[in-house]
Structure formats: structure tokens, C-alpha cells
């Protein structure tokens, strides 16, 4: 059985939860090990196919060997490069504390050994301990040589893997910045995050997926690209629905999505009872913030949002099938150094849902995972609920 390494993005636990959901390995803890930012998984699969299905992983590698001395680690890399023909390009990405000079010395050593046997080599180095997926791709490292992923363990032993594939960054960028229907005021999810949310729902593509606050349709379009066949998107705003239609036509025309204007509170007029398998949504997040709001304004906003969400869950209860799932974003707001949170888990459970853990890691169950960038006033908590 091969051990794969998933090099996780900026939100490693969230990204790990996504991978494990896609591979259906969440419960099989003996098959995986998370040492952020790397998730090691003992499972065979087609890495090039999986990387296109997930949003939170930057690279997937194949473990070559583990528990090696420095010398053995270098020998492993050299043996791997000797398999290649023509001029060889290679790079080294080291995870854990490392001095860049050490990386340069390893490269020198590898080059020396390769030249000694008459091979011509080029070392790709960007003054960083880890190469970006763009660098790996643009320098053809996978085809013309290798990018080695190296972990230095605390016992001074090394594990080494070679990169098999990297995230399709150009395609993701095109979907993020190229979509014609845009609304920066109400906010648009990055496609990567939309993919992670859909994957966390753990519903197969033949099930019915609904986004009742679809905005310009990121979740709807990503679900379409992931081959979901029964997709429903709705939003209270006419413009949002126009944008969603534009984005669908741009990405994947001629499909059978059902997209319409509706207040979430009226959804029972449009959707049959107990007919939806999963709801994946980023709901209304309140007025856009400037960051200098007084605390009372933020607290008032959280109270209002809480009411909107709870009334939406009453509707979700009616249209979801039994055991149907919801992936739902609950915002939290930054006030100076504290977070103002919306606490509605207990009320949601009272309506008839149970809170599902997204990942269990180091004996801790994560019932919500935070997606937040340092300079943002708003954080997104990702939650999973199941209808009882
Ligand atoms: C944060 S945006 C969703 C953005 C979306 N995830 C995207 O990537 O484009 C929230 C959306 O909720 C919609 N909305 C607000 N109140 C609503 C309601 N009561 N029923 C349905 N949609 C509502 C807004 O029009 C807005 O498009």
C-alpha cells in the first residue's frame, strides 16, 4: 500500500477534513496521520484525479522512504533522479525548521553525485524552504526530474516523498477571477473553499444539493463541475440569480440546474418536503464591515443574523430528507482582539438537527473549523449538521 502525502493549504485541519471526507477515511484513523501541514494517507488512488476534486490541498506526493539518516535521504533522492533521462531538473521542499544553507548543501551533494555519473542537472531554488506549486509546474519538475518533499523529524531522521501532482492553480484562478457574474459587496466564496464545503457534505454527486443563499453561484457552479446532477440554487436577490445564470453559462452551459429568486423563508413554496439531500451554503453574513464599528453594532448584527439563521433552519428541516446534511457558514466578527460570535448551535439542535464532527484529530473532535485571513474583520466558521 502506497503512502501519499497531502501538502495542505492555509487551513490545514479544514483541508485534512476535506481529503478524509473525499477518500471516506475519516473514521479509519489507522490509515492516516496528520502532522500539519502534511496529511499522510496509506491508500492507493489516482493522485492526478483526486487533486482536481479537492480545494484545500496544494500538492500530493508519494512517500519514497522514512526514518532515514541525512545520507540515506540524499541517496534516495539521487536514486530517484537516476531513473530519469535527459537533462534533469530538481527541487527540494523541506517541512520543519531548516537552514536554507543546508538545503543548498544537499543540492550540491546531489549535483556532485549526478555529474560524477555523467548526468546534467539543474537545481531549482527560490530562496525559500518550500517551493510553490507554480514553481514546480513552471520548471517541469515532475516530468523532467523531481520535487522532493522532505520532513525532518525531531529525532533527526528524515522522511522523503516525491511530488506526483500539484493543484491546478491556473484553472482555479480563472474560475475565481474570470467569472463574469460578480458581486464583491455581498461577497463571493473562493472556488477552493466552495469545493471544500461541498466535499465536507459527503454526499455523492447523484444526490440533490441546494444552496439557498447562492449569491453569484460559486457553490452551484463548483458542484456542477464536480458533476452533481441535481442542483438547486436560490437567492432573495434578482441580481444574484442573474449573476448565477451568467456564471453557469460561462462554466458549464446546457445543464439542468434549478435556479430561482426566493426568500429562504418561502422555499417550501418551491421545493417539495423531504426532497433535498444536502444543503451547502454561505448565508447572508450581515452588512459589510469597515472594521471600526462599535461593539454594540456588531452585537446587534449578530442577534439579527442569529434570527435569520434559526428561521432558515426551520425551513431546512422541512425540505431536507431524514439524515440529510447541512454545511453552513456561521460568521464571527473581530472586535479589537476578541471575536464576537453567534452562538446558535443549541437552538439548531432543538429544531431537530445534530452537530456532526468534521474531523477527529489528537483525540479532539472539531465541530467547527475557522476560515479566516489575518486582515479580515469577519471569520467564517464551517459547521456540519444532520437532520435527525
Ligand atoms: C454572502 S452572500 C453568498 C455569496 C455566495 N456564496 C457566492 O459565492 O457568491 C449571501 C447571499 O444571501 C442572500 N440573501 C440575504 N437574505 C436572504 C434571504 N432571506 N433569503 C435568501 N437569500 C438571502 C443575499 O442576496 C446574498 O446573495
**Ligand 1 pocket, mutate which of 55, 175, 193, 215 (most atoms under 8 A from CB):** 215
Indicate the pLDDT class of residue 184, thresholds 50, 70 and 90. Answer: confident
The reply to whether 224 falls in a domain is: yes
CA distance 148 to 105: 15
Average pLDDT of span 35-64? 96
CA distance 242 to 217: 10
Pairing of strands 320-335, 338-340: antiparallel
Q: Which helix (H) or strand (E) holds 173?
A: helix 169-177
The reply to whether 174 falls in a domain is: no
What was the pLDDT predicted at 24?
94
What was the pLDDT predicted at 256?
84
C-alpha closest to that of 387 among 330, 315, 329, 331 = 315
CA distance 48 to 57: 12
**What is the percentage of the chain residues whose pLDDT exceeds 90?**
85
The residue out of 108, 143, 167 marking a domain boundary is: 167
CA distance 250 to 268: 30
C-alpha closest to that of 329 among 288, 388, 370, 298 = 370
Instruction: Report the half-sphere exposure of 280 (CA within 13 A, side-chain side).
Output: 27
The reply to whether 69 falls in a domain is: yes
The residue out of 104, 133, 167 marking a domain boundary is: 167
C-alpha closest to that of 288 among 185, 385, 372, 193 = 185
189: Cβ below 6 Å to ligand 1?
A: yes
Q: Is the bond preceding 79 in cis, omega lying within 30 degrees of 0?
A: no
Indicate the pLDDT class of residue 61, thresholds 50, 70 and 90. Answer: very high
Contact 130, 94 (CB under 8 A): yes
Q: Residue with the nearest Cα to atom 16 of ligand 1?
A: 284
Expressed in angstroms, the distance from the first to the final Cα of the chain is 38
Q: Are 304 and 373 members of one domain?
A: yes
Arithmetic mean of pLDDT over the chain: 94
Residue-wise pLDDT tens digits, 76-122: 999 999 999 899 999 999 998 889 999 999 999 999 999 999 999 99
What was the pLDDT predicted at 187?
75
Asked whether the predicted pLDDT for residue 174 surpasses 80, the reply is: yes
Asked whether the predicted pLDDT for residue 363 surpasses 90, the reply is: no
Q: Are 82 and 205 members of one domain?
A: no
The reply to whether 13 falls in a domain is: yes
**Ligand 1 pocket, mutate which of 191, 212, 213 (most atoms under 8 A from CB):** 213
Residue-wise pLDDT tens digits, 262-276: 999 999 999 999 999
Residue-wise pLDDT tens digits, 274-296: 999 999 999 999 987 777 888 88
The reply to whether 201 falls in a domain is: yes
CATH of the domain at 32: 3.30.2130
Asked whether the predicted pLDDT for residue 47 surpasses 90, the reply is: yes
Asked whether the predicted pLDDT for residue 254 surpasses 80, the reply is: no
What was the pLDDT predicted at 36?
87
Look at the block and give the residue holding cell 474583520: 377
CATH of the domain at 295: 3.40.50.150
What was the pLDDT predicted at 169?
95
What was the pLDDT predicted at 58?
98
Q: What is the distance in A from the centroid of ligand 1 to the CA of 311?
A: 15
- Please identify, by atom number, the ligand 1 atom nearest to the C-alpha of residue 214: 5
Look at the block and give the residue holding cell 453557469: 248
Q: Are 56 and 200 members of one domain?
A: no
The reply to whether 42 falls in a domain is: yes
Domain count, the chain: 2
The reply to whether 55 falls in a domain is: yes
| Burial profile 27-40: b = 16 or more Cβ within 10 angstroms, e = fewer | eeeeebebeebbbb
| Burial profile 269-300: b = 16 or more Cβ within 10 angstroms, e = fewer | eebeeeebbbbbbbbbbbeebeeebeeeebee
CA distance 282 to 188: 9
Provide CB contacts within 8 A for 225, sequence distance 6+. Answer: 251, 252
CA distance 15 to 352: 28
Q: Alpha carbon of 62 to those of 20, 70, 91: distances in Å?
A: 17, 19, 15
What was the pLDDT predicted at 294?
85
Q: Are 149 and 295 members of one domain?
A: no
Q: What is the distance in A from the centroid of ligand 1 to the CA of 284?
A: 5
CA distance 340 to 302: 8
Assign 3-state DSSP to the chain and report helix, strand, coil percentages, each to 5.
35, 30, 35
The residue out of 167, 199, 221 marking a domain boundary is: 167
CA distance 282 to 53: 20
Domain membership of residue 324 as a residue range: 182-387
What was the pLDDT predicted at 336?
87
Q: Are 318 and 200 members of one domain?
A: yes
Q: Are 140 and 251 members of one domain?
A: no
- Please identify, by atom number, the ligand 1 atom nearest to the C-alpha of residue 215: 27
Q: Residue with the nearest Cα to atom 4 of ligand 1?
A: 215
Q: Are 341 and 205 members of one domain?
A: yes
285: Cβ below 6 Å to ligand 1?
A: yes
What was the pLDDT predicted at 376?
86
235: Cβ below 6 Å to ligand 1?
A: yes
Angle between helices 218-225 and 191-201 (to 10 degrees): 70
**Ligand 1 pocket, mutate which of 185, 197, 235, 279 (most atoms under 8 A from CB):** 235
213: Cβ below 6 Å to ligand 1?
A: yes
Q: Residue with the nearest Cα to atom 17 of ligand 1?
A: 236
- Please identify, by atom number, the ligand 1 atom nearest to the C-alpha of residue 285: 1
Q: Which residue has the higher pLDDT, 297 or 283?
A: 283
Q: Are 114 and 45 members of one domain?
A: yes
Residue-wise pLDDT tens digits, 188-238: 899 999 999 999 999 999 999 999 999 999 999 999 999 999 999 999 999
CA distance 321 to 11: 31
215: Cβ below 6 Å to ligand 1?
A: yes
The reply to whether 175 falls in a domain is: no
Instruction: Report the half-sphere exposure of 65 (CA within 13 A, side-chain side).
Output: 16
Indicate the pLDDT class of residue 183, thresholds 50, 70 and 90. Answer: confident
Contact 285, 302 (CB under 8 A): no
Q: Residue with the nearest Cα to atom 13 of ligand 1?
A: 213
Q: Are 284 and 143 members of one domain?
A: no
Residue-wise pLDDT tens digits, 148-164: 999 998 788 999 999 99
Q: What is the distance in A from the centroid of ligand 1 to the CA of 234?
A: 9
Provide CB contacts within 8 A for 229, sequence distance 6+. Answer: 205, 206, 256
Q: Residue with the nearest Cα to atom 5 of ligand 1?
A: 215
**What is the percentage of the chain residues whose pLDDT exceeds 70?**
100
Q: What are phi and psi of 22, to 5 degrees?
A: -65, -40
Q: Are 191 and 317 members of one domain?
A: yes
Q: What is the distance in A from the centroid of ligand 1 to the CA of 369?
A: 21
CA distance 345 to 340: 15
Asked whether the predicted pLDDT for residue 69 surpasses 90, the reply is: yes
Q: Are 146 and 291 members of one domain?
A: no
Q: Are 344 and 250 members of one domain?
A: yes
Amino acid at each position: 500500500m502506497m503512502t501519499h502525502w497531502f501538502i495542505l493549504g492555509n487551513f490545514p485541519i479544514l483541508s485534512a477534513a476535506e481529503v478524509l471526507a473525499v477518500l471516506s477515511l475519516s473514521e479509519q484513523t489507522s490509515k492516516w496521520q496528520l502532522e500539519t501541514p502534511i496529511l499522510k494517507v496509506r491508500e492507493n488512488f489516482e493522485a492526478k484525479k483526486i487533486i482536481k476534486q479537492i480545494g484545500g490541498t496544494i500538492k500530493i506526493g508519494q512517500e519514497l522512504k522514512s526514518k532515514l539518516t541525512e545520507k540515506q535521504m540524499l541517496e534516495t533522492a539521487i536514486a530517484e533522479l537516476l531513473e530519469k533521462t535527459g537533462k534533469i531538473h530538481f527541487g527540494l521542499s523541506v517541512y520543519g525548521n531548516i537552514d536554507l544553507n543546508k538545503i543548498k548543501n544537499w543540492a550540491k551533494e546531489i549535483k556532485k553525485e549526478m555529474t560524477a555519473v555523467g548526468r546534467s542537472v539543474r537545481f531549482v531554488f527560490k530562496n525559500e524552504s518550500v517551493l510553490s506549486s507554480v514553481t514546480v509546474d513552471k520548471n517541469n519538475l515532475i516530468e523532467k526530474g523531481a520535487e522532493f518533499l522532505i520532513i525532518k523529524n525531531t529525532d533527526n531522521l528524515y522522511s522523503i516523498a516525491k511530488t506526483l501532482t500539484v493543484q491546478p492553480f491556473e484553472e482555479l484562478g480563472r474560475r475565481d477571477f474570470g467569472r463574469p457574474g460578480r458581486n464583491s459587496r455581498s461577497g463571493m466564496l473562493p472556488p477552493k473553499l466552495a469545493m471544500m464545503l461541498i466535499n465536507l457534505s459527503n454526499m455523492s454527486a447523484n444526490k440533490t444539493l441546494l444552496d439557498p443563499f447562492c449569491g453569484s453561484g460559486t457553490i452551484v457552479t463548483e458542484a456542477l463541475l464536480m458533476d452533481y446532477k441535481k442542483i438547486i440554487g436560490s437567492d432573495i436577490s434578482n441580481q444574484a440569480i442573474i449573476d448565477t445564470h451568467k456564471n453557469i453559462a460561462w462554466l458549464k452551459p446546457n445543464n439542468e440546474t434549478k435556479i430561482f429568486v426566493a426568500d429562504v423563508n418561502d422555499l417550501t413554496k418551491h421545493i417539495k418536503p423531504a426532497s433535498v439531500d444536502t444543503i451547502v451554503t454561505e448565508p447572508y453574513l450581515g452588512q459589510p464591515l469597515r472594521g471600526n464599528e462599535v461593539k454594540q453594532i456588531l452585537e446587534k448584527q449578530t442577534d439579527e443574523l442569529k434570527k435569520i439563521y434559526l428561521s432558515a433552519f426551520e425551513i431546512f428541516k422541512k425540505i431536507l430528507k431524514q439524515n440529510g446534511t447541512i454545511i453552513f457558514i456561521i460568521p464571527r466578527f473581530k472586535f479589537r482582539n476578541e471575536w464576537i460570535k453567534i452562538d446558535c448551535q443549541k437552538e439548531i439542535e432543538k429544531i431537530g438537527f445534530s452537530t456532526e464532527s468534521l474531523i477527529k484529530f489528537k483525540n479532539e473532535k472539531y465541530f467547527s473549523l475557522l476560515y479566516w485571513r489575518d486582515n479580515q474583520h469577519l471569520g467564517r466558521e464551517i459547521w456540519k449538521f444532520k437532520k435527525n
